[in-house]
Amino acid sequence: MFDNAFKAVKEVLDKAGRVLIATHVVADGDAVGSSAALALIARHSGCDTRIFMRTGLPSEIPLRAMPAPVVRYCAELGDFIPDAAFFVDCGDRRRAGPEMERLILKRELPVPEDSEERRRLPLTVVNIDHHAANPMFGDINLVGEKCAATAEIVGLFAEYLGLPLAGDLGEAVYYGLVTDTGNFTFANTHAGSLALGARILAAGLDVADFSKRCDNNWSLGRMRLWGTLMRGVNLFADGAVACCTVSRRLMEEFGLGNEDLEGFASWLRRVKGVRVGLLLREDGPENCKISLRSMGDFDVRAVTAVYGGGGHVSAAGATVRLPLAQAETMVLKEIADRLRTDGA
Ligand SMILES: [Mn+2]
């Protein structure tokens, strides 16, 4: 279904000597998996590659190694001047951070205005993503809303190129797939995701060993934080909404970072009767991050869109400029109103 776009992306890789692969801030398994898989493909095409992750590589990943150096700032690229910039899993042009947004807008590597080495290059931008409402900011857009993960698209691209989904490449694609489908249980899981997973297994993935590396890597601190958070979960809207708030004080008490909250919001759906899980994280006195989850029968992206956020029908997030308690009241009301008009 992507044959024309695949052909165009292949041509970019064939021509490019150096490629930059950027993904979104607070990289999740799909961001890491799809960047790693694409870096392996680029390496196979003979490209020198760097991966840009504004907030860095998560400390725990199941992959044995990243196939290319990871940078947080363009300054770290030194004299590495890319011919093409690939964006993976970025639902909009702001998602990879301000430096990458400027790169998208100007089609050049951002360096200070007065710099002598100002890099005026016709950088080709390739946008590979699976978010609905992706604004198609690339010169080439490989966007599949029906795909469960960006890694799914990258996996299909590898197959188009004739690369076997074995070893590190298979693991990288599989990591993105299982992250974004909740181990093939979320509403976005379709026959094609499972078929791709099956081909990766057929190519030799040790699924038990991979799952162990993927899941069994928690600190005791995270286990105890989640326990504390679960004790604080409350139900609203006649039990249709499970809500949990995380104060900065609690995070400081546990000495843990935001990545230790990764995946928690999905658990809120486990309570029987709950249709929407809402996690509110306090980032500052008037600044909260909201994460919303559903099973696909309630559009949480429509809720986060009210606050300028984005995501998918069953998983979305936004930043709200309010104190924690006020944000909670406001978002709960928004969800309750929508559940009512939804006929729930
Ligand atoms: Mn994704």
pLDDT digits (tens, 9 = 90+) for 198-216: 999 999 999 999 999 999 9
19, 162, 276, 320 from 326: Cα distances, Å: 44, 53, 19, 10
pLDDT tops 60 at residue 118 = no
Strands (E), 102-147: 124-129, 140-143
Helices (H), 161-219: 167-181, 191-202, 207-215
Using 50, 70 and 90 to split pLDDT, how confident is the model at 190? very high
How much is the average pLDDT of 81-91? 96
Tell me, in angstroms, the distance from the centre of ligand 1 to residue 161's CA. 22
Q: Which CATH architecture has domain 3-214?
A: Alpha-Beta Complex (3.90)
* pLDDT score, position 214: 94
Rounded to whole angstroms, the Cα distance separating 62 from 33 reads: 10
> DSSP secondary-structure letter at 153?
H
pLDDT tops 60 at residue 114 = no
Tell me, in angstroms, the distance from the centre of ligand 1 to residue 196's CA. 16
Q: Which residues crowd ion ligand 1, with CB under 5 Å? A: 30, 89, 150, 180
pLDDT digits (tens, 9 = 90+) for 146-185: 999 999 999 999 999 999 999 999 999 999 999 999 999 9
* pLDDT score, position 108: 87
Q: Classify residue 316 by burial, with Cβ atoms within 10 Å: 0-12, 13-18, 19+.
A: buried
pTM over 0.85: yes
Tell me, in angstroms, the distance from the centre of ligand 1 to residue 237's CA. 29
Choose the weakest-confidence range: 87-91, 117-121, 237-241.
Answer: 117-121
Tell me, in angstroms, the distance from the centre of ligand 1 to residue 262's CA. 14
> DSSP secondary-structure letter at 141?
E
Count of CA atoms in the C-beta half-sphere (13 A) of 134: 25
Query: What is the CATH T-level fold of the domain 220-341, as seen in this structure?
Result: Diaminopimelate Epimerase; Chain A, domain 1 (3.10.310)
Residue 291's DSSP bridge partners are 279, 317
Tell me, in angstroms, the distance from the centre of ligand 1 to residue 341's CA. 29
* pLDDT score, position 111: 67
Task: Work out the percent of the chain whose per-residue pLDDT is above 90.
Answer: 89
* pLDDT score, position 344: 47
* pLDDT score, position 342: 74
What is the helix (H) or strand (E) element at residue 295, kind and residue range? none
Residue type (1 letter), 130: H
Pull the structure tokens for residue 215.
């899941």
* pLDDT score, position 330: 98
Choose the weakest-confidence range: 4-13, 118-127, 293-302.
Answer: 118-127
Pull the structure tokens for residue 107.
């089609």
Choose the weakest-confidence range: 110-119, 309-318, 333-342.
Answer: 110-119
Check if the beta carbon of residue 286 is closer than 8 Å to that of residue 322. yes
Choose the weakest-confidence range: 115-129, 195-209, 325-339.
Answer: 115-129
pLDDT digits (tens, 9 = 90+) for 51-62: 999 999 998 899
Domain layout of the chain by residue ranges: 3-214, 220-341
pLDDT tops 90 at residue 121 = no
Tell me, in angstroms, the distance from the centre of ligand 1 to residue 7's CA. 22
Tell me, in angstroms, the distance from the centre of ligand 1 to residue 119's CA. 31
Tell me, in angstroms, the distance from the centre of ligand 1 to residue 301's CA. 14
How much is the average pLDDT of 29-33? 98
> DSSP secondary-structure letter at 25?
S
Average pLDDT over the chain reads 94
Q: Check residues 145 and 1 and name the one with the higher pLDDT.
A: 145
Tell me, in angstroms, the distance from the centre of ligand 1 to residue 150's CA. 5
Residue type (1 letter), 41: I
